[in-house]
Amino acid sequence: MASSSSSNKSSFTELERKTLTVSEKIYDAFINHRGPDVKDTVAFALYESLEEKECWTFLDDQELQLGDLIPSAIQNAIYSSKVQIAIFSPGYAESSWCLDELLLMLKTKAQFIPIFCDVKPSDLRYPDKGVYAPAFAQHEEKGRFSDERLHQWKEALHSSSLISGYEFSTSNENVERLCTKIALAVQKEDGKMRNAQQLCLSSCVCEILGYLIRSITQRSDLHAEAATSTTSTSAQVKVCSLPPRDSHSVGIESKVEHMVGLLEDPGVQVIAVVGMGGSGKTFLLQNVFKAVKSKNDYSIWLSISKSYSLENLQHDIASHIGKQREIVDNKVSKERAAELIHDHLLGKRCLIVLDDLWTLSTENSLIDKLGLPTDKDCKVVISTRNRQVALNSNARIYEMKNLSDEDSWRLFCVYAFPNCVENRAPLLMEEEGRKIVKQCGNLPLAIKTIAASLANTRLLSKWVLKRRQLERVVTTSGGHDPVMEILKLSYDALPAYLKACFAYLSFFPEDEEIDSEYLINLWIAEGFIPAGEDQWDLGWDWLDQLDQLCLIQVCERGDGSYLTKYCKIHDLLHDLAIHISKENRCALSVEEVSRHTSGATGWCRILLAKKGLHVNPISESRPIYLRTLTLSQNEQIASIPDNLFTTIRGLRVLDLSFTDITTLPASLGKMILLKLLNLKKTNITKVPKCVRHLKGLLFLALPLCCRSLPVWISELKSLQHFEGWGIDPMPKGISKLASLRTLRAFFNLSINEDEFMRLGDVVSMTQLQELRLILNHDMELERMEEGILAQLLRMRRLAIRNNIKGTELPQFPENITAMKQLEYLLLQRFVVPRWICKLTNLRELWLQECSDYSELERMPNLVGLYLNKDKSCRKLPEAFGKSGGFPQLRFLQITNFSSLEELPTLEEGAMVCLEQFLLFLCPKVKKVEGLEQLKRLEEFSFYDSGMMSNWWKTLYEDGEYWKKIKAINPQVNITAI
Nearest to 734 by CA among 725, 720, 726: 720
Helix, strand, or coil here: 577?
Answer: helix
How far is it, in rounded angstroms, from Cα 486 to Cα 451? 11
How far is it, in rounded angstroms, from Cα 735 to Cα 338? 54
Alpha helix ranges (H) inside 725-801: 759-762, 778-785
**Helices 460-475 and 482-492 sit at what angle, rounded to 10 degrees?**
150
Residue 225: CB atoms within 10 A of its CB come to 12
**Candidate list 101, 176, 485, 857, residue with the active-site label:** 101
How far is it, in rounded angstroms, from Cα 812 to Cα 833? 6
Q: State the virtual CA torsion across 651, 657, 659, 664 in degrees, nearest 10.
A: 50
How far is it, in rounded angstroms, from Cα 698 to Cα 677? 8
The phi, psi pair for 135, rounded to 5°, reads -65, -45
Whether 285 and 292 have beta carbons less than 8 Å apart is answered as no
Whether 284 and 259 have beta carbons less than 8 Å apart is answered as yes
Edge-to-edge strands, sheet with 270-274: 298-303, 350-355, 378-384, 270-274, 396-399
Tell me whether residue 592 is one of the annotated catalytic residues: no
Whether 876 and 901 have beta carbons less than 8 Å apart is answered as no
How far is it, in rounded angstroms, from Cα 74 to Cα 59? 10
CB contact burial 794-805 (16+ within 10 A = b; e otherwise): bbbbbbbbbebe
Nearest to 917 by CA among 896, 933, 940: 940
Nearest to 737 by CA among 755, 705, 768, 714: 714
How far is it, in rounded angstroms, from Cα 318 to Cα 316? 5
Q: Measured at the alpha carbon of residue 74, what is the angle toward residues 70 and 78, in degrees to the nearest 5? A: 175
How far is it, in rounded angstroms, from Cα 270 to Cα 266? 11
The phi, psi pair for 353, rounded to 5°, reads -105, 125
How far is it, in rounded angstroms, from Cα 430 to Cα 416? 11
The phi, psi pair for 586, rounded to 5°, reads -95, -40
Residue 951: CB atoms within 10 A of its CB come to 16
Residue 594: CB atoms within 10 A of its CB come to 14
How far is it, in rounded angstroms, from Cα 828 to Cα 279? 49
Nearest to 976 by CA among 920, 926, 895, 936: 920
Whether 645 and 622 have beta carbons less than 8 Å apart is answered as no
How far is it, in rounded angstroms, from Cα 684 to Cα 930? 51
How far is it, in rounded angstroms, from Cα 553 to Cα 547? 5
* Side-chain half-sphere CA neighbours of 334 within 13 A: 10
Alpha helix ranges (H) inside 396-495: 405-416, 427-439, 444-453, 460-475, 482-492
654: amino acid identity, one letter: L
Instruction: Report the helix count and the strand count for the chain, using DSSP H and E.
Output: 32, 29
Alpha helix ranges (H) inside 440-570: 444-453, 460-475, 482-492, 496-503, 516-526, 535-548
- Kindly list the catalytic residues: 101
